[in-house]
């Protein structure tokens, strides 16, 4: 499946979600944020729990965590580690082969803290952007749907 098809499938899933635009966008934002943190394989569980606590769309949160997937995780974790190490002033060698939270703990407490700190910092901007983009997208989709359902049918010629 190419990127265009995946994007269309992603938008179709958003179209089918129930709830107001804020509810869906908050869930997506939570999912994106958790998907960027180095908490794999707990992404979905954490996102669903946070969405439940914050009264956001659990479906959108579950969809949003897929930002952290086998193709993106090595890049996200490397960026998270470098950001966290810079903030905390640590310098521990990072190996991209560590792709789960339990594997990351093998690097030691300083590396794990650097990854978590960096993941949290890096996750803020995409999560905020996801909120506004999703909210606008849901409003636009529903506005178009509302307009098309209110138009009278054209008589057959």
The CA distance from 68 to 114, in Å, is 18
User: 78: Cβ–Cβ under 8 A, 6 or more apart, which residues?
Assistant: 94, 96
**Residue 107: per-residue pLDDT:** 72
Question: pLDDT tens for residues 36-80?
Answer: 998 878 889 999 999 999 999 999 999 999 888 888 888 888 888
Asked if residues 93 and 114 have their Cβ atoms less than 8 Å apart, the reply is: no
Q: Of 3-7, 80-84, 127-131, where does mean pLDDT reach its minimum?
A: 3-7
**Residue 145: per-residue pLDDT:** 72
Residue 68 CA, chain-centre distance (Å), reads: 7
Residue 157, pLDDT above cutoff 50: no
Asked if residues 76 and 100 have their Cβ atoms less than 8 Å apart, the reply is: no
Tokens matching residue 142: 């529903």
Residue 134, pLDDT above cutoff 50: yes
Question: What is the pTM assigned to this prediction?
Answer: 0.79
3-state secondary structure at position 68? coil
Extents of the domains making up the chain: 19-143
């Amino acid at each position: 499946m190419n990127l265009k098809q995946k994007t269309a499938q992603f938008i179709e899933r958003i179209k089918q979600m129930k709830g107001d635009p804020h509810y869906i966008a908050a869930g997506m934002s939570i999912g994106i944020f958790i998907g960027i943190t180095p908490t794999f394989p707990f992404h979905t569980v954490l996102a669903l729990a946070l969405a439940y606590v914050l009264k956001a769309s659990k479906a959108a949160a579950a969809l949003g965590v897929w930002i952290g997937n086998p193709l993106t995780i090595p890049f996200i974790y490397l960026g998270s580690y470098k950001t966290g190490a810079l903030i905390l002033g640590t310098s521990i060698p990072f190996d991209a082969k560590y792709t789960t939270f339990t594997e990351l703990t093998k690097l030691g407490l300083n590396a794990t803290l650097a990854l978590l700190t960096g993941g949290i910092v890096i996750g803020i901007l995409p999560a905020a952007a996801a909120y506004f983009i999703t909210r606008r997208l849901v409003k636009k989709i529903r506005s178009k749907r509302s307009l098309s359902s209110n138009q009278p049918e054209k008589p057959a010629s």
